[in-house]
Structure 1
Amino acid sequence: MSKNKGKVGKVVAMTMNTSNKEKPKDSAISINKNGEIILKIHAKPNAKTTRVIGATVY
């Protein structure tokens, strides 16, 4: 017999509604109300690195 026989796994499900819906945090990648993907890119001229930092919807 296996040592896990008879054990039941735990599944956690969460539904989104107005009471538990959080505002999105300042994320580099997000989706707007229309389902479009928004990507924030912060690029400075002559910079050694370029980072994805924010999104703006136009």
Structure 2
Amino acid sequence: GGKNTAWKVTLSQNVVVNAFGNARPMLRFYATAGQADNEVRSNEAIAAKQDTLALGAMFESWW
């Protein structure tokens, strides 16, 4: 047997026009990084070690 391990961290920055915490509309920028080490796999075609990085922006509004 083996052991599967993984970690992930996300950093985000919210930008709002109003000073209140629940204000909308909101623009959010984020970066997520992570790594998975899969010693136990059901598909050998997938690499045992996988790194990931995701960058993005999200717009949120309420009515």
**Which protein has the larger Cα radius of gyration, Structure 1 or Structure 2?**
1
- Relative to its length, the structure with more strand (as a share) is 2
TM over 0.5: no
Larger RCO (alpha carbons 8 Å, 6+ apart)? 2
